[in-house]
Amino acid sequence: MTVTALTATEIRDAVTDGQVSATEVCRAFLDRAQALNPQLNAFTLIDADRALDAAGRVDAQRASGTPLGPLAGVPIALKDNLCVRGMRTTAASRILDTFVPPYTATAVMKLEAAGAIVLGKTNCDEFAMGSSTENSAYGPTKNPWALDRTPGGSSGGSAAAVAAHCAPLALGSDTGGSIRQPGSFCGVVGLKPTYGRVSRYGLLAFASSLDQIGPFSRRVRDAALTLTAIAGSDGADATTVATSVPEFTSALTGDVRGVRVGVPRAFVSEGVDEEVRLAFERALDTLARAGAVIVDIDLPHARAAIPVYYLICTAEASSNLARYDGVKYGFRATLGRTDGLKAMYNRTRDEGFGAEVKRRIMLGTYVLSAGYYDAFYLKAQQVRTLLRRDFDRAFEGADVIAMPTSPIPPFRLGEKTEDPLQMYLADVFTVSANLAGLPGISVPCGFTGAKLPIGLQLMGRMFDEATMLRTADAFERATSWHTESPSL
């Protein structure tokens, strides 16, 4: 048995049945992560001692006959914007290079309570701003399928770690596609839950009306298992909703007969790479053969989603990132003798933030400033309402919505870094789910001729992850893309 080839559910079962100890599992993944990280740069931190301690506790729990949790002994990697008490958390930013959080994110506390073993922190775009993991103060992550390509972003390290079998599970955050797009680029499952489903307490905030935490895995079932563990209302995050949390794995019946899959034909007909388009059409055929009903839908404002998203997320970012001022935590610039407080703020932020973060703070400050607020920010919020209404109408005739996750396969490192607008356009199919608060998932649906992964995106109604997961799982059962792994 190659432990690192097992899925999260298989590991949980093997540990629970005593076929393998949590410590053996933990060592196997730590060894692989440490061996591959020089190539991939997927991890910013691997904390072997802490992980082995936690695994030892699961083994002791089993030895004492105490019932084990639903993720007992399952290693997990955390995007480096999730706080863990005592574990350096940087958001891949120089400004937080030395930050050691005094508290742990709610989602992480829930995972550990379920028996999961935190391996360490994964690389990402700085403060989750980017689509390629190239905006990291610690260098880019490489795509395990092709080391000259990006793993997507911003949660690229988490996606790469799962694809390379360095971890069976990872958490990421998705503000405009930052779980689904790297999931697609790395050939793994990436799940963004409904806005309000998972507490963001302990997630370093980027855009608070859009951010959501979710899992990466190699199977839909593992994503459903993880979502059940991390979901639920939390007094520490007022945006969480007190809706009951179903046992999401029980929704995975394999039966999608009669499920209406809406396809926004006009929206997905333009600007999509030919190999991606063919894989998407084949995926729809697969769903239809499984009994789903493919229906046309219209999302007339979806084309405006990219500008709306970049106006809103930058405005929110400019406010959220005001807290990084060289006073309370992290980096402070070296000052001259005559420099006062304002010089300290301004120089600390210039030296501490990378170029993309500064661009977004500037853009957000501009669209919120007097004279531009109505024309840009308020207008974007109004179009956001129109987009939500598009989805409300579409979901009258459809149970889930299907699109490609990304219009293009994984691109080359450096290919889009000179032109921010080109990088933003790569998010065309993912930002809508965040603007409307909907759940979305990317599942593997093929490869290009050059063996680069392609993802199918499914979106569900708010708080109806169950139907979306059932459809994604049925697709997975009908295909074998998820069984392939990169050769490393």
Partner 1 sequence: MSTTLSIADVERIAALAHLELTDAEKTLFTKQLADVLAYAEQVQQIDTTGVPATAQVHGAEGHERADEPVPSLSTADMLANAPDGAPEVGLFRVPRVIGG
As a whole number of Å, the end-to-end CA separation of the chain is: 18
> Is residue 214 involved in binding partner 1 (CB under 8 A)?
no
Q: Which of residues 52-91 bind partner 1 (CB under 8 A)?
A: none
Burial of residue 349, with CB atoms counted within 10 A of its CB: 0-12 exposed, 13-18 middle, 19 or more buried: buried
Q: Which of residues 327-346 bind partner 1 (CB under 8 A)?
A: 327-332, 335, 339-346
Burial of residue 18, with CB atoms counted within 10 A of its CB: 0-12 exposed, 13-18 middle, 19 or more buried: exposed
Amino acid identity of residue 278, one-letter, is L
Size of the site for partner 1 (CB under 8 A): 70
Catalytic residue among 131, 173, 178, 184: 178
Q: Which of residues 217-236 bind partner 1 (CB under 8 A)?
A: 235
**Is 217 an annotated catalytic residue?**
no
Which residue's CB is nearer to partner 1, number 10 or number 325? 325
> Is residue 378 involved in binding partner 1 (CB under 8 A)?
yes
Which residue's CB is nearer to partner 1, number 331 or number 429? 331
Give the separation between CA 126 and CA 218, rounded to whole angstroms: 25
Retrieve residue 355's tokens: 């170029």
CB-CB contact of 124 with 79 (8 Å): yes
Side-chain half-sphere CA neighbours of 346 within 13 A: 5
**Is 208 an annotated catalytic residue?**
no
> Is residue 373 involved in binding partner 1 (CB under 8 A)?
no
Least separation in angstroms between residue 158's CB and partner 1 is 24
> Is residue 439 involved in binding partner 1 (CB under 8 A)?
no
Distance of CA 201 to the CA centre of its chain: 16
Distance of CA 96 to the CA centre of its chain: 21
Residue from 11, 462, 468, 474 touching partner 1 (CB under 8 A): that is 462
**Is 79 an annotated catalytic residue?**
yes
Residue from 46, 224, 256, 380 touching partner 1 (CB under 8 A): that is 380
Give the separation between CA 339 and CA 351, rounded to whole angstroms: 15
CB-CB contact of 156 with 178 (8 Å): no
Q: Which of these ranges, 8-16, 365-373, 395-403, 452-460, lies near partner 1 under the rule CB under 8 A?
A: 365-373
Least separation in angstroms between residue 362's CB and partner 1 is 5
Catalytic residue among 21, 79, 217, 442: 79
Query: Would you tell me the crossing angle of helices 220-230 and 106-113 to the nearest 10 degrees?
Result: 110
Least separation in angstroms between residue 313's CB and partner 1 is 12
Residue from 209, 417, 479, 485 touching partner 1 (CB under 8 A): that is 209
Which residue's CB is nearer to partner 1, number 144 or number 193? 193
Query: Would you tell me the crossing angle of helices 8-17 and 22-40 to the nearest 10 degrees?
Result: 150
Which residue's CB is nearer to partner 1, number 372 or number 447? 372
> Is residue 313 involved in binding partner 1 (CB under 8 A)?
no
DSSP 43-98: EEEE-HHHHHHHHHHHHHHHHTTPPPPTTTT-EEEEETTB-BTTB---TT-GGGTT
Which residue's CB is nearer to partner 1, number 345 or number 447? 345
Which residue's CB is nearer to partner 1, number 20 or number 308? 308
Q: Which of these ranges, 16-24, 50-58, 67-75, 382-390, lies near partner 1 under the rule CB under 8 A?
A: 382-390
> Is residue 98 involved in binding partner 1 (CB under 8 A)?
yes
Give the separation between CA 121 and CA 77, rounded to whole angstroms: 6
C-alpha closest to that of 197 among 468, 463, 464, 466: 463
Catalytic residue among 136, 154, 158, 217: 154
Residue from 34, 61, 286, 381 touching partner 1 (CB under 8 A): that is 381
Burial of residue 50, with CB atoms counted within 10 A of its CB: 0-12 exposed, 13-18 middle, 19 or more buried: middle
Least separation in angstroms between residue 466's CB and partner 1 is 17
Least separation in angstroms between residue 328's CB and partner 1 is 6
Neighbours of 98 (CB within 10 A): 11
Residue from 38, 49, 396, 421 touching partner 1 (CB under 8 A): that is 421
CB-CB contact of 361 with 353 (8 Å): yes
CB-CB contact of 104 with 111 (8 Å): no
DSSP 156-222: HHHHHHHHTTS-SEEEEE-SSSTTHHHHHHHTSEEEEPPTTTB--TTBPPS-TTT--EEEEESSHHH
Which residue's CB is nearer to partner 1, number 2 or number 338? 338
Q: Which of these ranges, 94-102, 154-162, 184-192, 264-272, lies near partner 1 under the rule CB under 8 A?
A: 94-102
Least separation in angstroms between residue 129's CB and partner 1 is 13
> Is residue 358 involved in binding partner 1 (CB under 8 A)?
yes
Amino acid identity of residue 309, one-letter, is Y
Least separation in angstroms between residue 296's CB and partner 1 is 23
> Is residue 393 involved in binding partner 1 (CB under 8 A)?
no
Residues that bind partner 1 (CB under 8 A): 98-100, 102-103, 195-196, 209, 235, 238-239, 241-242, 301, 304, 307-308, 310-311, 318, 322, 325-332, 335, 339-347, 349-350, 353, 355, 358-359, 361-363, 365-366, 369, 375-376, 378-386, 388, 420-421, 424, 435-437, 462
Active-site amino acid positions:
79, 154, 178
